[in-house]
Amino acid sequence: MSLQNTREITKSQVFQRKSLHKELPKNAQGKMLKVSQYFGENVFQLKNNRNFSADTQKEILSVLEGTKALDKKLAKQIADVVLSWALEKGATHFCHWFQPLTGSTAEKHDAFLTLKGDRPIEKLSASQLMQGEPDASSFPNGGSRSTFEARGYTCWDLTSPIFIKENTNGKTLCIPTAFISYHGDALDIKTPLLRSMSSLSEAATTFLNLLGVKEAKSVTASCGIEQEYFLVDKAFYYQREDLVMSGRTLVGSLTPKNQQLSDHYFGTIPERVLSYMQECEIELYKLGIPAKTRHNEVAPGQFEIAPIFSDANTAADNNQLLMATLKSVAQKHDFVCLFHEKPFADINGSGKHLNWSLSDNNGTNLLEPGSTPHENYRFLAMVAIVCEAVKRHAVSLRAAIGSHSNDHRLGGHEAPPSIISVFLGATVKSILDKYLTGDNYSPEEQTMINTGAGQLAQFLQDNTDRNRTSPFAFTGNKFEFRAVGSSANVGFPLTVLNAAVIDVLKETNLFIQEKLNAGSDVKTVLKEITKKWYVSSHDVVFNGDGYSEDWVKEASSRGLPNLRTTVDALIEFNKPGNHQHLFDLGVYRPTELESLYNVNLEKYNTCRDIELRTQKKMIDRTIKPCAYQYKKELAVLIKDLKELGTSYASEEKTLNKVSSILDELTSVCEKLGPFLNTDNESEEKRGANYANVGLDLSEKVITLAGELEDIVPDASWTIPTYFDLLFIR
Ligand code: ADP
Ligand code: MG
């Protein structure tokens, strides 16, 4: 069977796909359950669990509040209840679930089964719950540990819920853990995030207490994550080596109609996709993840899901679980879910918007403007603090969202540029701008939106208008870090964002203390803080079109860094002035950051290497043979036409065109060859080489292969096209 037949067969197979039916959760009497009745059924309740005695519950609360350490006795009591819950649910194994520097999750399973003498029993000991020792030598460590001391330990994170993962033939109890070295250094993404959460709570609580909010005992960074993704049919996916190897297409010609008509965005969700989303949601609800929003995104084949926000640590863990669920359920529905930031050239890429805010233990959101924001001095001071944090630590924020894949999206369609700026919306910006000039702000009357149709419900004009082009936007009562990539583990950007804010908050607290000691009142101090930080940071505030060329020039004249590539960003971040605060705040230790730097740079280079090799292979083994085949057909045709004495000008023109593209493609590919053998250079040099030379060559290859695809007859093109991948489902 020839390859071209395979693609045709696949197409007809995909045409016949049906939506997959999923049984909805029912009770024992067969009555359908409401979501609220099975929500969180696969999550272990540590708080308010009636299987613990009142004393144990109290002790657990103290541990969660950080006023007591977890001892072995308490751990044993918890382990017993966890085990009987897990067994009741039908789990046979447990695992420590953690997030090494790869950015994805890792797990090593152990059976509950153990032998007491020769009697089989199920067991989960206190130490099995609290600590594990997976072999750490094969995880990337960026050179921080030599192999002989490659031990790594996982330790239970009590603040993130224990859950049960269901598979076709069994269930596993998953215990969220941190992953640390023998010396307590973080080997993961979670540990620094947890440190930043505690430190942020401390600084923000002090801030509130100084301002007279004595009842504030703790402050949590809240986070809601919007996750974008693409779905392609599984059968097409496995015929695209580039998608399988690198997550994005490395050849492909865009269809004439793609997203120009905006007819996909918020359109009716295709039946097969909706069935998929519904099954994902059932799984997420069982895991206690409150999936809230689902919709079509802008590009064909692109979708979004967003759960209700929670504390940042849980949100980060849940996002990993959500991604895993989207991926595994997709397989059942004969889809593959793509998280790459730019799987298809020239249409929108996927992001992961981090909605971030701060709220105290009484539920007060520090970023809530209220109905008269110009008189809400604490709110204005908080916004100014965040602006200063972003301005001061723009390099670390840029580095935190950097990856080889996100580089394709930053600055692309509907994606924020690599210049980190803050959008505040018209109202907040004009209030704060008055602090620069010293003028008084007089609020504009909030107007009703005039629809011209009396049948419609009336509503007030929203003054926190949205700017979709900003990497960091104030949206109502939270900031939205929009530059984060869809494939990212949000732990790192969250940590860096938290740290940036802690840094400025700590300085602010000293300032407040000093002013109060000198006899100032709270309102005056708050106004002074707002002025101090807004004067210092207002250059980072930009409400205009972040995609315009003018902004790039304007940002440069304002002195804002524009770190175009991840390699640039990492190298800049590695300069002491750009990360010292992370050490000073105790969020990262020098060895940890060095590891992270090395791991990220290596990952960038390895991924580029894989991409270029895959691309070259596809050109040599798939694209060129399609073109050769067509050339052969044309040559035979021309020969026949010549013999007949008929005109063959058009055929010859096409043949020459195919030949000339092929020649150029061959010469570009030859340049890729030696480029790939640069192992003896430093990672920085390799990175810069990939980012500046390799990608240009690769782009060239994409263009030329696209030109061939546009000439070679569809029936002779052996790999699924953008048309197949984006439009057939
Ligand atoms: P958008 O209009 O930006 O697409 P979505 O409804 O898709 O908004 O997502 C907004 C996300 O922000 C949700 O995850 C939501 O729970 C979260 N969110 C809402 N309020 C807050 C808040 N105060 N802090 C953090 N996240 C929030
Ligand atoms: Mg959204």
Atom nearest to 357 CA in ligand 1: 24
CA-wise closest residue to 606 among 142, 192, 107, 232: 142
Q: Which residue's alpha carbon is nearest to atom 4 within ligand 1?
A: 226
Structure tokens at 221: 């960074």
Rounded Cα gap, residues 275 and 281, in angstroms: 10
Cα(464)–Cα(370) distance, integer angstroms: 12
Least Cα distance to 246 among 693, 700, 618, 611 occurs for: 611
Count Cβ atoms within 10 A of the Cβ of residue 632 and give its class: 0-12 exposed, 13-18 middle, 19 or more buried: exposed
Q: Could you tell which of 220, 265, 355 is best to mutate to test the pocket of ligand 1, judged by most ligand atoms within 8 Å of the CB?
A: 355
Do 726 and 240 form a contact (C-beta atoms < 8 A)? no
Is there an atom of ligand 1 within 6 Å of 365 CB? yes
**Is the separation of the CB atoms in 289 and 322 below 8 Å?**
yes
The residue nearest atom 8 of ligand 1, judged by CA position, is: 226
Q: What is the spatial distance between Cα 460 and Cα 246, in angstroms, rounded to a whole number?
A: 47
Q: Where are the alpha helices (DSSP H) in 476-589?
A: 491-517, 522-537, 549-557, 566-573, 580-584
Element (H, E) at 674: helix 649-675
Res 144 pLDDT > 60: no
Distances (CA, A) of 261 to 265, 300, 468, 728: 9, 11, 18, 18
CA of 480 to the centre of ligand 1 (A): 8
Ligand 1 pocket, residue 222 CB under 6 Å: yes
- Give yes or no for residue 224 CB within 6 A of ligand 1: yes
Nearest atom in ligand 1 to 365's CA: 23
pTM here? 0.95
**For range 171-187, the mean pLDDT:** 93
Q: Quick check: CB of 284 below 6 Å from ligand 1?
A: no
Ligand (nearest to CA of 322): 1
Q: What is the mean pLDDT of the chain?
A: 92
Q: From the CA of 307, give the closest atom in ligand 1.
A: 14
List pLDDT tens digits, range 217-257: 999 999 999 999 999 999 999 999 999 999 999 999 888 88
**Identity at 130, one-letter amino acid code:** M
For the Cβ of 309 lying below 6 angstroms from any atom of ligand 1, the answer is yes
User: Strands 479-481 and 472-474, how do they pair?
Assistant: antiparallel
SS3 30: coil
How confident is the model over 588-623, as pLDDT tens digits? 999 999 999 999 999 999 999 999 999 999 999 999
Across residues 463-472, what is the average pLDDT? 73
Instruction: Report, in angstroms and rounded to the nearest whole number, the Rg of the chain calculated over CA atoms.
Output: 28
| Ligand 1 contact, 318 CB (< 6 A) | no
What is the structure's pLDDT at 147? 44
- Whether 716 is in the pocket of ligand 1, judged by its Cβ within 6 Å, is no
- Considering every ligand atom shown, identify the ligand nearest to the alpha carbon of residue 290 and give its number: 1
The answer to whether residue 468 scores a pLDDT higher than 80 is no
Q: 283 in helix, strand or coil? A: helix
Say if CB 68 and CB 62 are below 8 A apart: yes
Residue 226 CB less than 6 A away from ligand 1: yes
Residue 692 phi, psi (nearest 5):
-100, -35
Given a cut of 60, whether residue 3 has pLDDT beyond it is no
Q: What's the gap in Å between 479 CA and the centre of ligand 1?
A: 9
Residue 40 is given by DSSP the state T
> For residue 223, which atom of ligand 1 is closest to its CA?
25
Distance, CA 205 to ligand 2 centroid (Å)?
A: 31
For residue 307, which ligand has an atom nearest its CA?
1
Q: Are 487 and 403 in contact (CB under 8 A)?
A: yes
Q: Residue 136 has what pLDDT?
A: 67
Shortest-distance Cα residue to atom 14 of ligand 1 = 224
Distance CA 136, CA 294 (A): 38
Q: In whole angstroms, what is the distance from residue 417 CA to residue 544 CA?
A: 13
Structure tokens at 388: 């200063």
pLDDT by residue (tens digit) across 39-82?
A: 999 999 999 999 999 999 999 999 988 889 999 999 999 999 99
Q: Is the CB of 605 under 6 A from ligand 1?
A: no
Instruction: For residue 291, report the distance from its CA to the centre of ligand 1, in Å.
Output: 12
In eight-state DSSP terms, residue 71 is: P
The strand pair at 106-111 and 91-98 is best described as: antiparallel
Identify the pLDDT of residue 610.
94
Question: Is the beta carbon of 293 within 6 A of some atom in ligand 1?
Answer: yes
Torsion of CA 137, 143, 147, 151, to 10 degrees: -50
Ligand closest in space to the Cα of 481? 1
d(CA 202, CA 193): 14
Backbone angles phi, psi at 484, to 5 degrees: -65, 140
Smallest CA separation from ligand 1 atom 17, residue:
224
Distances from the Cα of 533 to the Cα of 59, 97, 206, 432, angstroms: 42, 41, 18, 10
CB of 306 sitting under 6 A from ligand 1: yes
How far is it, in rounded angstroms, from Cα 359 to Cα 506?
17
Judge if the beta carbon of residue 308 lies within 6 A of ligand 1.
Answer: yes
What does the pLDDT read at residue 148?
Answer: 45
> Is the CB of 196 inside a 6 Å radius of any atom of ligand 1?
no
State in Å: Cα 224 to ligand 1 middle. 5
CB-based contacts of 508: which residues, under 8 Å, 6+ apart?
A: 207, 381, 385, 529, 533
Encode pLDDT of 85-138 as tens digits: 999 999 999 999 999 998 889 998 999 999 999 999 999 999 999 988 877 676
The pLDDT assigned to 350 comes to: 95
Q: Could you give the domains of the chain?
A: 39-188 (3.10.20.70), 189-226+351-445+459-586 (no CATH)
Instruction: Give the number of whichever ligand sits closest to the CA of residue 350.
Output: 2
Instruction: For ligand 1, atom 6, name the residue with the nearest CA.
Output: 293
Q: Whose CA is nearest to atom 11 of ligand 1?
A: 224
Give the residue, out of 219, 223, 225, 226, with the most ligand 1 atoms within 8 A of its beta carbon, to mutate for a pocket test.
Answer: 226
In angstroms, what CA-CA distances link 183 with 180, 229, 591? 8, 39, 11
Euclidean distance between CA atoms 410 and 223, whole angstroms = 22
With pLDDT > 70 as the criterion, what percentage of the chain qualifies? 94
The residues near 176 (Cβ < 8 Å, ≥ 6 apart) are 97, 98, 156, 157, 160, 161, 162, 190, 317
Instruction: For residue 368, give the ligand 1 atom closest to its CA.
Output: 23
Give kind and range of the element (H or E) at residue 81: helix 72-89
Integer Cα distance of 536 and 11 in angstroms: 59
| Dihedral of alpha carbons 572, 573, 575, 581, sign | positive
Ligand 1 atom nearest to CA at 295 = 7
For the chain, how long is the longest CA-to-CA vector? 104
- Phi-psi bin for 659: left (phi > 0), alpha (psi -120 to 50), beta? alpha
Question: Ligand 1 pocket check: which of 266, 303, 309, 414 to mutate, most ligand atoms within 8 Å of Cβ?
Answer: 309
Does residue 87 contact residue 171 with C-beta atoms inside 8 Å?
A: no
Dihedral (CA of 226, 227, 229, 234) sign: negative
The answer to whether the CB of 355 is under 6 A from ligand 1 is yes
Burial label, 682 (beta-carbon count in 10 A; 0-12, 13-18, 19+) = exposed
Q: What kind and span of H or E run contains 551? A: helix 549-557
Residue 322 corresponds to which tokens in the numbers above?
A: 């959500």
Q: How far is the CA of 309 from the centre of ligand 1 (A)?
A: 7
* pLDDT exceeds 60 at position 149: no
333, 233 Cβ separation under 8 angstroms: no
Residue 146 has pLDDT above 60, yes or no: no
Two tokens, residue 630: 């067509």
Report whether 90 contacts 167 (CB < 8 A).
no
Q: Measured in angstroms, how far is the CA atom of residue 32 from the centroid of ligand 1?
A: 30
Ligand 1 neighbourhood includes 220 CB (under 6 angstroms): no
Residue 541 and residue 386 in contact, taking contact as beta carbons nearer than 8 Å: no
**More confident of the two residues 1 and 453:** 453
Which ligand is located closest to the Cα atom of residue 309?
A: 1
477 lines ligand 1 (CB under 6 A): yes
Whether ligand 1 lies within 6 angstroms of the CB of 364 is answered as: no
Of 422 and 677, the one with more pLDDT: 422
Tokens 């050179």 correspond to 143
225 Cα: distance to centroid of ligand 2 (angstroms):
9
How far apart CA 457 and CA 653 sit, in angstroms, is 63
Please give the angle made by the CA atoms of 176, 181 and 182, to the nearest 5 degrees: 120
Structure tokens given for 326: 């989207």
Which ligand lies nearest the alpha carbon of 318? 1
Given this model, what pLDDT does residue 446 score?
Answer: 63
Rounded distance, CA 166 to CA 282, Å?
12
Q: What is the DSSP string of 152-210?
A: EEEEE-TTS--EEEEETTEEEEEEEEEEEETTS-B-BSHHHHHHHHHHHHHHHHHHHHH
Find out whether 351 and 500 touch, Cβ atoms under 8 Å: no
If you count DSSP H runs as helices and E runs as strands, how many of each does the chain have, helices first?
A: 24, 17
Going from the Cα of 295 to the center of ligand 2, the distance in angstroms, rounded, reads 8
466 has pLDDT over 70: no
Which one of 359, 364, 478, 498 would you pick to mutate in the ligand 1 pocket, going by the greatest count of ligand atoms within 8 A of its CB? 478
pLDDT value of residue 305: 98
- Compute the average pLDDT of residues 503-529: 98
Cβ of residue 479 lying under 6 Å from some atom of ligand 1 = no
Q: What is the pLDDT of residues 361-380, one digit of tens each?
A: 999 999 999 999 999 999 99
Contact 532, 511 (CB under 8 A): yes
CB 276 within 8 A of CB 20: yes
Nearest CA to ligand 1 atom 13: 224
